[in-house]
Amino acid sequence: MMEFVRWWYGPGWVHLVRSSVQRVRGLALAFSLPILIRTLFAPWRRIISYGSKSFQDSMRAALDNFISRFVGFGVRVIVMLAAIVLIILSSLLSLVAVICWPLLPIVGIGLIIRGLLPW
């Protein structure tokens, strides 16, 4: 029992903090936030039109390129917002877990004593 208590309030708590930090970093890497920011105004899926020598074809190509960049911007902004929301949620849940970690054994014993948690 003492080994469990020693682990819980020592290496177990440190492991929880490290894994929480890794989880947040992993989310940032999974969504590739630096790449999304760097390519925010890049065309969607690199779809680029090239106009020919006529003015009408050049204007059509410019409009196509503008639409492609607009779609790329919209998709990247939505993905970045989703990433930010998930990173904030993960950070908050990790903070709650780190704060509650030392209290969990005490709460478990209290629930057993009160008869709310079966032994």
Q: Pick the residue with more confidence: 77 or 50?
A: 77
**Are residues 65 and 49 in contact, defined by beta-carbon separation less than 8 angstroms?**
yes
CA-nearest of 74, 78, 55 to 66 is 74
pLDDT for 77 equals: 94
Q: What is the mean pLDDT of residues 107-111?
A: 82
Q: Please check the confidence at residue 47 and state whether its pLDDT lies above 70.
A: no
Q: Tell me the pLDDT tens digit for each residue of 48-63.
A: 777 777 888 888 888 8
**Are residues 90 and 23 in contact, defined by beta-carbon separation less than 8 angstroms?**
yes
Tell me the whole-structure pTM to 2 decimals: 0.74
For residues 20 and 90, give the distance between their C-alpha atoms in angstroms, rounded to a whole number. Answer: 8
**Are residues 82 and 51 in contact, defined by beta-carbon separation less than 8 angstroms?**
no
What confidence category does residue 102 fall into, taking pLDDT thresholds of 50, 70 and 90?
Answer: very high
